[in-house]
Homo-oligomer: A and B are copies of this chain.
Amino acid sequence: MKHLRNIAVLMLALFAMSIADEGMWTFDNPPKKQLKDKYGFDITQEWLDHVRLSSVRFNDGGSGSFVSANGLVMTNHHVGAGQLQKMSTPEKDYIKTGFYARTSAEEVKCVDLELNVLMELENVTDKVMTAIAGKNGGEAMQARRTVLAQLQKESNDRTGLRTDLVTLYNGAEYWLYRYKKFTDVRLVMAPEKQIAFYGGDPDNFTFPRYDVDMCFFRIYENDKPYSTTNFLKWKTAGAADGELVFTSGHPGSTNRQQTYAQIEYSRDYQYPARLATFKRTIAVLKQYSALGEEQHRRADGMIFGYENSQKAMTGEYQGLLDKNLMAKKLQDESDLRAKINANPEWKTKYGWAWDSVASAMNKTKSRFKELTYRGLSGSMAGRAMTIARYAIESKKPNGERLPQFQDAMVKMTLENLYSPAPVYADMEEVLLTDRFKEAQEMLGSNDPWVKAVLNGKTPEEAAKYYISGTALADPAARKTLIEGGEAAISKSTDPLIQLALVVVPIGDEMRSWQDKNISGVIAMSSEATGKGRFAAYGKELPPDANFTLRLSYGQVKGYPMNGTLAPSITTMYGLYDRAHSFANKPDFELPQRFKDGVSKLNLSTPMNLVSTNDIIGGNSGSPVINAKAELVGLIFDGNIESLPGRFTYSEEKNRAVSVHPGVMIETMRKLYDANILADELEGIIAQPAPPKESPAKPVKPTAKKKK
């Protein structure tokens, strides 16, 4: 540190290209020009169709891909974890021990996993536009709803495929996405959570990383492994540093096309408020958790969940606090508005929308505290609210009810209500107390909601009164009330039901004010901003993510980090370094299999990799593929610098983090005794003949007239 020293040319090598690897692109509109200009890659329809049909959606919020001709589907351990949990018993804890089925007979059927493959995309924008032509406001909204419902029903009836309505570009395009739906899905292989989520929450959302976050399922049809030609060929060697790679998956949501006023509102109101609430809730839960072993067990999962969200939201919030990021958002918006205002027709149609959003956001601010802090917490209070709402909603005609009380949904709502899951009254009381305290602090003691819930008591007294007096911990008590209907509910002496009956109307007043003054305005205005952007830039920019299939491109590439460089890959050496560095303590302890098996491993095997692909939550489990559509990685996270990606993409430091195929094969063969699976992935066993099913239908990038 005292003397002058060498510097790496590496660090200063400037990347000459100016196009950023931004965008989660729909398959009807791939970034052809960018790929050609920056990477010299010609993307073809055949390539796109093959990748699309090799991509799998995990309906509970993740992505996956076909990796063999026999219906083998790869995703992340953390995407499959819900199913692993459900199929585990105290004797067979698959989360803890992992799982491997050597034969088809050993594969275990998932409890309720639905996988989808996107077979067809139909642009119905023209049909929608025709239906709403000449209509305005509420009339237009109703017409749109009607035509979409009709298109969806027709599609379902005609194709037998699951048809989802998809709105893109804030409402500038409407599509039908048709999925083949699979429900017979069986577990093939999962490692121990300890290695899948190695490094635990500290390493979560970071890189360098050392996780084997993989999980393999197999799709069955008619009790036989599903046969397909659309699967990704495996490449154990992975991709080279700097190589062009793609991901195909289902990013959940981004807010990149929100207006500046909305983002400012997030920065100045939503994020600080939510993070402050997280902070106090975590503190309260930790205080509770410290009371004893059992309290620790009860609160643990909840603390973990809050802290994980806190970490992610803190990263997003840091982005919003970054003046450069905000200046860029403002500049982009100014450019777009200038372009729109320069065209008289566009100006009339869309020019008003940004100010309209801003004014709605300002109105929201006027009631921000009420909208934010007038809320209960805990599962018992939540159930009391459901019962109280049921009393009110069930009197209304079906179409006017809140969605969860409409005929189509009410069954599931009541099933959830009657869940026998254990309720911890002492923890609920602690949470409710803090909610009351927060409301009192933020709204003042004279707020009607605060007055109503406290009713002259202190927060502690009130929470104790409601929780200790309620019978709702018992599912039977809930059922009795529902079955007694409005009469029973309105006469109930259960203090928590009485509380719910008092607060429901206050909530209703807020919601109807919000619907009238905010939500409707924002929906209309956002659609106009989307259409304006679309008019100005067409499909040069992809639409915000919405859990539909997207393609992103990028390259395998390290980045400047912590004063030095993060490499583009890590190796198994690093896994053992981290374990020994932390003396094998929790979060960094290796599974016994990895401790015992170290001498069998080639420790220079690549473990995780980073690439510039633009992804977000929901992309977990997405395949990373090379230009030949060969599998070279498995997305499982983003780095800490990628968290502001909700609002904007920066190629300098945003990175997608993947499991390298090398470590999957190395551990399967040497630690998991899973040579059969590794052979299937590496195509060592002869692939079966092409499937009998009809060949995949091509993508339909433009609207077609169909009856």
B576 A201 Cβ-Cβ under 8 A: no
A8 B587 Cβ-Cβ under 8 A: yes
Given the known interface contacts A7-B308, A10-B587, A308-B7, the answer about A2 and B562 at a Cβ–Cβ threshold of 8 Å is no
A210 to chain B, nearest CB (A): 9
A583 B241 Cβ-Cβ under 8 A: yes
Binary interface encoding of chain A residues 299-311 relative to chain B, with 1 for a CB under 8 A from any of its CBs, else 0? 0000111011101
Tell me, yes or no, whether A61 is within 8 Å of chain B by CB.
yes
Given the known interface contacts A569-B581, A570-B581, A578-B567, the answer about A2 and B202 at a Cβ–Cβ threshold of 8 Å is no
User: In the assembly, what is the distance between CA of A205 and CA of B2, in Å?
Assistant: 10
Tell me, yes or no, whether A640 is within 8 Å of chain B by CB.
yes
- Give the oligomeric copy count: 2
Tell me, yes or no, whether A561 is within 8 Å of chain B by CB.
yes
A43 to chain B, nearest CB (A): 27
14 sampled A-B residue pairs with Cβ under 8 A: A1-B619, A1-B637, A3-B61, A3-B62, A3-B620, A6-B304, A7-B303, A205-B563, A315-B563, A570-B577, A573-B577, A573-B580, A577-B577, A580-B604
A561 to chain B, nearest CB (A): 6
B7 A202 Cβ-Cβ under 8 A: yes
Tell me, yes or no, whether A532 is within 8 Å of chain B by CB.
no
A562 B562 Cβ-Cβ under 8 A: yes
User: In the assembly, what is the distance between CA of A82 and CA of B4, in Å?
Assistant: 11
Binary interface encoding of chain A residues 544-571 relative to chain B, with 1 for a CB under 8 A from any of its CBs, else 0? 0000000000000000011111011111
Tell me, yes or no, whether A404 is within 8 Å of chain B by CB.
no
Tell me, yes or no, whether A199 is within 8 Å of chain B by CB.
yes
A564 B7 Cβ-Cβ under 8 A: no
Tell me, yes or no, whether A617 is within 8 Å of chain B by CB.
yes
Give A residues with C-beta under 8 Å from B.
Answer: 1-12, 61-62, 78-79, 81-82, 197, 199-206, 208, 241, 252, 303-305, 307-309, 311-312, 315, 561-565, 567-571, 573-574, 576-578, 580-583, 585-588, 603-604, 617-620, 636-640
A81 partner residues in chain B, CB cutoff 8 A: 3
User: In the assembly, what is the distance between CA of A206 and CA of B312, in Å?
Assistant: 25
The 8 closest A-B pairs by CB, nearest first: A7-B201, A563-B640, A574-B577, A567-B581, A573-B577, A7-B307, A4-B305, A8-B587
Given the known interface contacts A5-B304, A8-B200, the answer about A581 and B586 at a Cβ–Cβ threshold of 8 Å is no
User: In the assembly, what is the distance between CA of A588 and CA of B571, in Å?
Assistant: 14
B565 A571 Cβ-Cβ under 8 A: no
Residue of B nearest to A250 (CB): B2
A450 to chain B, nearest CB (A): 30
* Residue in contact with A574 in the complex, picked from B12, B197, B573, CB distance below 8 Å: B573
Residue of B nearest to A199 (CB): B564
* Residue in contact with A304 in the complex, picked from B2, B7, B562, B574, CB distance below 8 Å: B7
A56 to chain B, nearest CB (A): 15
Residue of B nearest to A81 (CB): B3
User: In the assembly, what is the distance between CA of A204 and CA of B565, in Å?
Assistant: 11
A617 partner residues in chain B, CB cutoff 8 A: 1-2
User: In the assembly, what is the distance between CA of A37 and CA of B636, in Å?
Assistant: 46
* Residue in contact with A571 in the complex, picked from B580, B585, B603, B618, CB distance below 8 Å: B580
User: In the assembly, what is the distance between CA of A588 and CA of B9, in Å?
Assistant: 12
Given the known interface contacts A561-B562, A573-B603, the answer about A252 and B201 at a Cβ–Cβ threshold of 8 Å is no
Given the known interface contacts A7-B308, A8-B201, the answer about A2 and B206 at a Cβ–Cβ threshold of 8 Å is no
Given the known interface contacts A8-B200, A201-B11, the answer about A79 and B582 at a Cβ–Cβ threshold of 8 Å is no
A5 B200 Cβ-Cβ under 8 A: yes
A580 partner residues in chain B, CB cutoff 8 A: 571, 573, 604
B581 A252 Cβ-Cβ under 8 A: no
A561 partner residues in chain B, CB cutoff 8 A: 562
